Amino acid sequence: MAPRGCASRLLVLSATGNLRAFVTGLVLTLTAQASLRGVLAPAREVLSSLWTVSGGPSRNLLSYIELSPLAVFNIAFLILLISIWFSWKRTCKPSRIIAALFVGIAVGLGWLGTYAVAQASFDVVAISSITFTGPSADTLMGLINERDLPMGFGSGLVPGVFFGALLMSIMTKEARIQRFEPDMPMERYLAGGVLMGFGSMLAGGCAVGAGMSGGSIFALTAWLALFSMWVGACITQLAITIGHRRSKPFRIV
């Protein structure tokens, strides 16, 4: 689908003046809210009940392999070095490599920060990390239904990322208004936003929440969701490529 990203990318692009991302993000957020608590919730519950994963330690990949925390750290560090080497060989900009490192650090700090708050708070505080679909829906509903936005990890994350991206786009002079164009039809963006909103609630998060945050604690459901997203993206990209080739006019050279 046309949006080519999840809620986090749409949020960042919206801050740079991309009206396509802004409209798609609103559709995604409303669909996610409808899938969680609204008219689409029954459909989500029916689909999620078709294949369930038992709770408890079996939901963690480490329960299938006996590894010490030190071994897990060494494996993760080795994968990190391989990823940096691969990115460097593909001539990826150093700034992007550093930014990716900070994203991974932010996910870890999210778990540590909410854990520290939960330990010090008298109220029940959920231990979580970075995710965008659910907090985006909660933030939007809070802005609509409440005079004061309830403070929390998610409600602080969404505005923080938006204004941070806005500030950076202004500093780098990349902020500019981008509208829908003839080769970028709105219906594709709207359809993609609906599918992403419903799918993210069905999967328990988007590529960041279900993939990175969930994958960082070796949750079985997160790795399964991330693998399925990757397969679906590859199939969609292949279909788009084949469609573009067939749409090109035949020329005799």
| CA proximity to 229, closest of 99, 147, 133, 98 | 133
CB atoms within 10 A of CB 149: 15
Cite the DSSP H helix spans in 16-68: 19-37, 41-48
Task: Give mean pLDDT, residues 145-153.
Answer: 76
| CA proximity to 152, closest of 163, 143, 139, 141 | 139
Task: Give mean pLDDT, residues 178-187.
Answer: 84
The three-class DSSP label of residue 60 is strand
Q: What is the pTM of this model?
A: 0.79
CB atoms within 10 A of CB 179: 11
Higher-scoring residue by pLDDT: 164, 183: 164
Q: What is the pLDDT of residue 167?
A: 94
Domain boundaries in the chain?
Answer: 7-50+68-247
Q: What is the pLDDT of residue 1?
A: 47
Query: Which residues are paired to 219 by β-bridges?
Result: 60
Residues listed for the chain: 253
Summarised one tens digit per residue, pLDDT across range 208-223 is 888 888 888 888 888 8
Residues contacting 96, CB < 8 A, separation 6+: 87
162 in Cβ contact with 29 (< 8 Å): no
Q: What is the pLDDT of residue 28?
A: 92
> Any idea of the CA torsion for 100, 103, 105, 109, to the nearest 10 degrees?
180
Summarised one tens digit per residue, pLDDT across range 6-64 is 888 899 999 999 999 999 999 999 999 999 888 999 999 998 888 776 655 556 666 66
The three-class DSSP label of residue 14 is helix
Summarised one tens digit per residue, pLDDT across range 73-125 is 888 889 889 999 998 888 888 888 898 889 889 998 989 988 888 888 887 77
Q: Is the pLDDT of residue 195 over 70?
A: yes
Residues contacting 229, CB < 8 A, separation 6+: 203, 207, 211
Q: What is the pLDDT of residue 213?
A: 87
The three-class DSSP label of residue 244 is helix
Please list, residue by residue across 100-122, b when 16 or more beta carbons sit within 10 angstroms of its beta carbon and e when fewer do: eeeeeebbeebbeebeeeeeeee
Q: What is the pLDDT of residue 148?
A: 74
DSSP codes joined into one string, 158-170? HHHHHHHHHHHHH
